[in-house]
A and B are shown apart, each in its own frame.
Chain A
Amino acid sequence: MIDPVAAADPDRSAGARLTAAWASDVAYSFRRNPVAMASTIVLAICLAASFFAPWVAPHNPFDLKTLSLQDALTPPAWEQGGSAHFLLGTDDQGRDVLSAIMFGARISLLVGLASVAFAMLLGVTLGLVAGYAGGKVDAVIMRIADVQLSFPAILIALLIDGVARAVLPRDAQTGVALAVLILAIGLANWVQYARTVRGSTMVEKTKEYVQAARVIGITPLQIMRRHLLPNVMGPVLVLATLNIATAIITEATLSFLGVGVPPTQPSLGTLIRVGNDFLFSGEWWITIFPGAALVIMVLAINLVGDWLRDALNPKLR
């Protein structure tokens, strides 16, 4: 089958499309914004370092065979007693801090992205239904959202996590801890998406193209999916970008409190918690570096999200 776009415009090869994208308004604002460019580069490095951790990390901190307790508590390379072998030092069990951060960021990003995807799926669906259907359906969904909005997201996540722990047998908990965490953070954050999408949907559904679609007998489900969804996704994407940062922080908080991911697969939050015990005794690198990594990653995501919001906002152009 012929690609309809390519058929309509035979000159638009992949390369040409890229050129067109580079020339677009969004890309133009990107090129003119050094902060956005810098944070994108930082974010790309973070993503690459964590995604390729098993191949690029200097050590595998979870391969117990390679650990030696004799290496424990080595300071960073530039400090006295440091070793070039462990650039950012080691923790109390002799794990390389740099490698632990790379592996930890993997878990943090996984939880952040997955929980945002889950929250988005849930929030967008409910928002579309509420906005399009209106009436009682709308009222019920939005009142639930109101109730949930009156609690901080972290409390909701704690609640869901706690209930899951109480319900699941202890032995099964480690295996599903990550999934439970993703669900908990996702469920704690769906409301914002639902609210945003509901508003946009209510505006869009009165427009003529939607009415036309309705007149020719397209089912509500199809209208929502084919016509409304693409037109309400702009703000949702911005929201999602910013929320990834929030979700990562929520995950770090829960793990810091000891209710997040199990210690066998530590995220950045878990690393910070473990290192926290060594703050008074002068082994600052065990907690400072994971903390700095978390700050840098979240800051980069936030700056990219900020830029995206401005770039997609027609009023600011």
Chain B
Amino acid sequence: MTIRHAAAAALFGGLLLAGGADSATLRFADQGDAISMDPHSLNETLQLNITGNIYEPLVGRGKKLELTPLLATSWKQTAPTLWRFNLRKGVRFHDGSPFTADDVIFSYERAKSDGSDVKTYVGPIREIRKIDDATIDVVTAEPFPILPDTINSWYMMSRAWSEKNNATTPVDVRKGKENAATLKANGTGPFMLKAREPGVKTVLVNNPAYWEKVESNVTEAVFTPIKNDATRVAALITGEIDMMEPVPLQDVEKLRTNGDLVILQGPELRTIFLGMDQSRDELLFSSVKGKNPFKDKRVRQAFYQAIDIDAIRARIMRGASTPTNLMVAPGIRGFSSDLNKRLPYDPAAAKKLMVEAGYPDGFEVGMNCPNDRYVNDSLICQAIAAMLAKIDVKVNLTAETKVTYFPKILSRNTSFYLLGWTPSSYDSHNALFALVMSPGANGQGQFNLGSYGNKRIDALGPQIASELDEVKRNAMIAEAFKLHSDEVGHLPLHQQALAWAMRKNVTLVQLPDNNNWLKWVVVK
């Protein structure tokens, strides 16, 4: 290349830069990584958030969590168990192929097949009928008035692409399997997957052919998992990244004083709780042999009352949590503040319950905990281990990254675990269906990992789903929560608060379900 050519190239490059004033790169970080790019392989917020920029559901959520038409333009309940969805016309997948009713039917079959972790979203659907390329009828097994509220995390995939790439079923991350959809993606969303290096970085670029003009001016978004809290904070302060979450709670005050940064805090709809294996006749990880101590309500209640939730709130969460007795947060339909009264923290009473249950010397139990999923998750587990030591329960704590944690507990290879849950439909039925009802068909109890069971709650579930009268429905939800709470089916802890931090040239929308949609991110 001659000097003149080089000069011309440099000039041209400069022009390009000048011309691209409205394009921007967003570098954002989280404490963990999305485990897979397959939108059906793991039902976890971060994973569904990252892949939800690439793939889209029929019905999405707006900035106030209101229902928003995405791949469906309108929907109507035409009979008690029948819904008509009109699909958006002219939408193309990133590989250029058109989106049609066949892809919806394919995505339905894929989402309910073995290996899928999102069965719970399509569980109520019995069949999808194609009327024409842009119209479908959805048949539900029971009348299901909240169907459109429950499908915003069920993403549409291309039949042709999946068949070509041999990825027609999601692979079970719980078994550590991979297929083409784990690393590649072909959706209809506003962003396309450019590069994926698991655990290192994921690069998305904007989709110029997207069906709608988006607010975002982000042309490239680089996602990096940074597990270490101090490293993540340092990366933001030094400008290595533009946005990150969660902000370690101990650093919130410090970062507020930094003029280059903006801290967004808000309540989150996620409830953090502990679950116990109540189905096996002998716990997998315990010193008690021949019986399962968690089958005894007195033991569960002793655990509950041994946990000093106010100390956890004050010391570990630094005030940024709301202790709870319910499995759902305020703001979720069906939440009842009357029922949200915790049993008192009382180690003496807890110890007495343990003695009554026949464990005066306590016992040993293995506990599983993630260390990069929820706010201060492993610290909470450590603190609870110390609290349970006071009723002579020796907790053998395994705190590990969610990449190994979720496969382990989702295969129910645990005796005692910590989990967080946001009902994706913002309705109590989702929490009851996934967390509280006995494991069954169509995703029922899919995340009831300790297999708690109560026949009355199991009977109430379908009635709640199909009840149209709000008052009757809420009464049934309250009855179910009361039964669950009286039996100490789980040990609810708290709702954590969201804390995001970004450089002040970044504007975005913080949703209480902890989703950060790139289509609303603007970098000035």
Contact = CB atoms under 8 A, between A and B. Distances in A.
A64 B389 CA distance: 6
B230 A69 contact: no
Q: Which of B250, B251, B390 has the most CB of A within 10 A?
A: B250
A280 interface: yes
A65 B254 contact: no
A72 interface: yes
Contact of B383 (A93, A277, A283): A93
A281 B383 contact: no
A69 B254 contact: no
Interface in A52-110: 63-65, 67-70, 72-73, 92-94
A280 B383 contact: no
A278 interface: yes
Interface stretch (B160-168, B309-317, B330-338): B309-317
A280 B233 contact: yes
A277 B230 contact: yes
B315 A281 contact: no
Given A70-B315, A92-B316, A65 B250 contact: no
Contacts of B385: 64
A69 B312 CA distance: 7
B133 to A, nearest CB: 50
Interface of B: prevailing SS: helix
A93 B382 contact: yes
Interface in B300-318: 308, 311-312, 315-316
A279 interface: yes
B10 to A, nearest CB: 41
B250 A69 contact: no
A278 B389 contact: no
A72 B230 contact: no
A276 interface: yes
A69 B253 contact: no
Contacts of B316: 69, 72, 92
B68 to A, nearest CB: 38
B91 to A, nearest CB: 45
B230 A67 contact: no
A258 to B, nearest CB: 9
Contacts of B234: 280
Interface string A274-297: 001111111100000000000000
Contacts of B377: none
A108 B413 CA distance: 34
Contacts of B382: 93
Contact of B389 (A65, A277, A279, A283): A65
Interface of A: 63-65, 67-70, 72-73, 92-94, 263-264, 276-283
20 contacts: A63-B389, A64-B395, A65-B386, A68-B386, A69-B311, A69-B315, A69-B316, A69-B386, A69-B387, A70-B311, A72-B315, A264-B397, A277-B229, A280-B230, A280-B233, A280-B248, A281-B250, A281-B251, A282-B254, A283-B250
Given A69-B308, A93-B379, A264-B397, 10 more contacts: A64-B386, A64-B395, A68-B311, A70-B315, A73-B315, A92-B316, A280-B254, A281-B248, A281-B250, A282-B254
10 residue pairs, one from A and one from B, having the closest CB atoms: A64-B389, A281-B250, A69-B311, A72-B315, A64-B386, A67-B386, A277-B229, A65-B389, A280-B251, A276-B230
